[in-house]
Structure 1
Amino acid sequence: MNAAATTITRCLHCRRPLRSARSIANGYGPTCARRIRNAAVDTTDYKPHQIASARELIADAAIVPVRGQAFAAVSSDGTETYLAHPTNCTCPAGLKAARCYHQLAARMLLAA
């Protein structure tokens, strides 16, 4: 008898198994998704388009935890991957010591 191989999709934030199709598509369970949406992060140093880009990065599951407080983040055009941390990033803006939306997304995920 052949047993079908089942893969378990896990929440990108808490690593718990995801069961609903909507959660699997989002990459986050309902509780983590709500916490991320409502995360109280100081955004005064960021421009409105950076805040929108950080939220989009999280919604698209284009930023995933790597280890500790480090995250792998995909570039806006999808061609490169950067290592993002709440205080720095390896993207071109981050290398110039500027605040980027990858850093903001990392802060939002850690605040949740």
Structure 2
Amino acid sequence: MQNTTHTHCLRCGRPLTSAKSQAAGYGPTCARHIRRAQVELTDYKAHQVASAIDLIEDGAIVLIRDQVFAAVSTDGTETHLVHPAACNCKAGLRGTRCYHQLAARMLLAA
């Protein structure tokens, strides 16, 4: 996990006041919405679900415009543009559903 401190919620943009929220990148309400988000997971493997959750918890996926996110690659060397239906990572360019797309779906469902 990164040691990044966020001043605003990565989901709603509101200021974060508690140290716990600043470390997580999400306020308690947004974090609860993300945890409860119902997303169809049958098309994803267990490791993809775990990676999507890690991506969200690390604050490594951020909404940049309507339904388009910027997500950091697993090794932290690249940034991908992600939409719930497409991603410009290697898997996404092959037409395979990637964990970046799943993370985007989870955030939009919350």
- Fold conserved (TM > 0.5)? yes
In structure 2, the residue matched to 1:63 is: 61
Identical-pair percentage: 69
In structure 1, the residue matched to 2:30 is: 32
In structure 1, the residue matched to 2:39 is: 41
Which structure has the bigger radius of gyration? Answer: 1
Taking only aligned residues, the RMSD between alpha carbons, in angstroms, comes to: 0.9
Distance in 1 (CA, whole Å) between partners of 2:58 and 2:88 is 20
Q: Which runs of structure 1 show a deviation greater than 6 angstroms over 4 or more consecutive aligned residues?
A: none
In structure 2, the residue matched to 1:86 is: 84
Q: TM-score, normalised by structure 2?
A: 0.94
Q: TM-score, normalised by structure 1?
A: 0.92
Aligned partner of 1:92: which letter? K
Out of 75, 94, 97, which is 2:95 matched to?
97
Distance in 1 (CA, whole Å) between partners of 2:69 and 2:25 is 15
Per-residue Cα deviation, 1:17-50 (whole angstroms, up to 9, x for no partner) = 1100000000000010011011100010000000
Distance in 2 (CA, whole Å) between partners of 1:74 and 1:17 is 23
